[in-house]
């Protein structure tokens, strides 16, 4: 039996007593669930969070000295910073061969912008065969495991809001050919959603709090709490390839990136990142900077225009290195963060969102048409300044960035499809195939290349089974 009076007193002390408003209407099992959700709240921290992030609008404090970042250019022969790409690639391949690499997909987000009814990883993403995102990643892992003769474990982070359907999806599809013992799922933490005006936690039902996943930054804690890092250590895994679920062009296993992360002189092997030159000053990508000598990402909305528009002597944007949210993490780094005596905390970012909730007077569900709630999330890139020395590798937009965030427009299912076709066309052209294009250079065929056929352009070179040409209007699956 729960001591509901004690619970009520506790709630009252933080101004959240309304969470028990419908207590007497709940069946014992429902009461139990509600108690569990309430007891999981961080009562000590709640008042501070509400004060700082909900009632107050957090103000970003611009660090005093912000310098442009340094990175490894896409062209290893660039005079900007030449390096021995073949050597680092070989190091990365050796790591994979030795079983020291795991893939990690963060898939706990709610995907509200896409509006897909199901976990985002189940979204049919490829242009012709409509492979779901999870399959695209799984097939890359299969191909990589075959190439380097070593199975590569996949860890998938879900949230309590999408865990079951995600696991079920993998099971129904035979884990897309991966050995089920190499696919691990674990859940990230949640945060309560707050009423924007009052700072009260919203109720999603009479016996249920409105909860949201605690952001991709929550992965750093969840990796530890779930036992995933211990599992990795037991398997001998030392490096984690971190990917988001929404980018079908991500290279799940990139030996060059892994090699630089693990062995470059200026890398502490803790956390590394990939970057893209931004299309303009205000493209909505996080900006890589150096603050107090440490790699840092400042959100596009926090970088003052005067810095966003600054150019160097060559005319390039000084702060033009955008983040694609692709990282490598050291297993030791994740462990260290979680076991440090002083602990670690990433800052919260506030998002104002529409959250369905119960009217406390009538008990009716309200579906707001305007943002009514504050969600608090942490971002994984805020861990970058916790690294001793963190490197950045430049990559190419078409090659590695085709995110599906929205249904149409920028970063959408539509734009991703066009990018997937363009990349496939480029890979084929590089292998000598003629591909139909219109007057503006756009590919006029629909092409899809399976990860099982090629993981990168060079895999197609010299292949005898390629068509000589692909004509306008053709649909080609390779
Ligand atoms: P987004 O920032 O695009 O958020 O996540 P989202 O929740 O998926 O989508 P919207 O904003 O509601 O439309 C980027 C990546 O981080 C993961 C997502 O699953 C995606 O891979 N993520 C995000 C988490 O794993 N947990 C979170 O709490 C938030």
Q: What is the pLDDT of residue 59?
A: 81
First to last CA, the chain: 61
At which of 370, 405, 440 does a domain end? 405
What gap in Å lies between CA 469 and CA 255, rounded to an integer? 31
What gap in Å lies between CA 131 and CA 129, rounded to an integer? 6
Residue with tokens 């605690």: 214
Q: What is the pLDDT of residue 292?
A: 92
Same domain, 394 and 427: no
* Cβ atoms of 470 and 436 closer than 8 Å: yes
Same domain, 410 and 373: no
What gap in Å lies between CA 394 and CA 233, rounded to an integer? 29
Same domain, 141 and 174: yes
At which of 389, 405, 421 does a domain end? 405
The two tokens of residue 79 are: 């005079």
At which of 405, 430, 463 does a domain end? 405
Same domain, 397 and 413: no
**Residue owning the nearest CA to atom 14 of ligand 1:** 244
**Residue owning the nearest CA to atom 18 of ligand 1:** 109
Residue 307: DSSP 8-state: H
Tell me whether residue 51 is in a domain: no
What gap in Å lies between CA 260 and CA 266, rounded to an integer? 9
Tell me whether residue 58 is in a domain: no
The two tokens of residue 154 are: 């996949």
Same domain, 335 and 420: no
Q: What is the pLDDT of residue 201?
A: 98
| Domain count along the chain | 3
Residue 31: DSSP 8-state: H
* 241-250 exposure pattern, b = at least 16 Cβ within 10 A, e = fewer: bbbbbbbbbb
Structural domain for 18, as ranges = 4-44
**Residue owning the nearest CA to atom 10 of ligand 1:** 111
Q: What is the pLDDT of residue 224?
A: 97
Alpha helical stretches, state H, 109-210: 133-148, 163-172
Tell me whether residue 298 is in a domain: yes
Q: What is the pLDDT of residue 1?
A: 57
Ligand 1, atom nearest to 108 Cα: 25
* Cβ atoms of 102 and 237 closer than 8 Å: yes
Same domain, 120 and 22: no
Run means of pLDDT, 10 residues per run, the chain, 478 residues: 85 95 96 94 92 87 91 96 98 98 97 93 98 98 98 97 97 98 97 96 97 97 97 98 98 98 98 96 95 94 92 93 97 96 89 95 96 96 97 97 95 97 98 97 98 98 95 97
What's the gap in Å between 468 CA and the centre of ligand 1? 41
Name the residue among 137, 136, 343, 96 with its Cα closest to residue 240.
Answer: 96
What's the gap in Å between 215 CA and the centre of ligand 1? 7
Same domain, 208 and 318: yes
Tell me whether residue 55 is in a domain: no
Q: In terms of residues, how long is the chain?
A: 478
Test site for ligand 1: of 216, 220, 382, most ligand atoms within 8 A of the Cβ: 216
- 244 in contact with ligand 1, CB cutoff 6 A: yes
């Amino acid at each position: 039996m729960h001591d509901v009076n004690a619970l009520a007193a506790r709630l009252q002390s933080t101004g959240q007593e309304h969470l028990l408003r419908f207590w007497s209407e709940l069946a014992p099992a429902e009461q139990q669930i509600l108690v569990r959700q309430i007891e999981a709240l961080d009562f000590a921290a709640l008042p501070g969070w509400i004060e700082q992030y909900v009632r107050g609008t957090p103000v970003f404090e611009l660090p005093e000295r912000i310098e442009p970042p340094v990175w490894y250019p896409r062209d290893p022969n660039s005079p900007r910073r030449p390096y021995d790409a073949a050597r680092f690639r070989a190091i990365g391949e050796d790591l994979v061969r030795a079983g020291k690499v795991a893939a990690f997909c963060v898939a706990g987000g709610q995907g509200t912008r896409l509006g897909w009814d199901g976990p985002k990883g189940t979204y049919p993403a490829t242009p012709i065969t409509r492979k779901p995102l999870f399959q695209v990643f799984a097939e890359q892992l299969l191909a990589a495991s075959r190439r380097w003769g070593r199975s590569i474990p996949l860890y998938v982070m879900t949230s309590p809001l999408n865990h079951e359907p995600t696991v079920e999806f993998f099971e129904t599809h035979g884990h897309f050919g991966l050995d089920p013992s190499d696919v691990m799922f674990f859940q990230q933490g949640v945060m309560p959603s707050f009423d924007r005006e009052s700072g009260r936690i919203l109720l999603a039902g009479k016996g249920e709090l409105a909860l949201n996943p605690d952001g991709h930054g929550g992965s750093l804690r969840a990796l530890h709490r779930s036992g995933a890092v211990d599992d990795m250590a037991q398997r001998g895994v030392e490096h984690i390839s971190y990917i988001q679920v929404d980018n079908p062009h991500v290279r799940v296993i990139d030996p060059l990136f892994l090699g630089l992360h693990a062995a470059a002189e200026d890398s502490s092997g803790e956390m590394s990142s990939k970057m893209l030159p931004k299309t303009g000053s205000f493209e909505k990508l996080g900006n890589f900077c150096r603050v107090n000598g440490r790699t840092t990402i400042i959100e596009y909305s926090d970088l003052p225009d005067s810095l966003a528009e600054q150019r160097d002597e060559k005319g390039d944007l000084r702060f033009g290195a955008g983040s694609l949210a692709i990282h490598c993490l050291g297993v030791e780094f994740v462990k260290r963060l979680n076991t440090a005596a002083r602990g670690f905390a990433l800052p919260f970012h506030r998002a104002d969102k529409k959250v369905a909730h119960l009217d406390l007077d009538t008990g009716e569900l309200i579906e707001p048409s305007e943002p009514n709630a504050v969600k608090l999330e942490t971002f994984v890139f805020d861990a970058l300044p916790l690294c001793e020395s963190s490197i950045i590798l430049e990559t190419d937009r078409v090659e590695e960035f085709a995110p599906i965030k929205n249904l149409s427009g920028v970063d959408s299912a539509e734009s991703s499809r066009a990018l997937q076709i363009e990349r496939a066309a480029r890979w084929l052209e590089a292998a000598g195939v003629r591909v139909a294009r219109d007057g503006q250079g756009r590919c006029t065929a629909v092409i899809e290349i399976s990860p099982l056929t090629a993981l990168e352009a060079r895999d197609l070179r010299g292949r005898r089974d390629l068509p000589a040409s692909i004509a306008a209007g053709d649909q080609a699956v390779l």
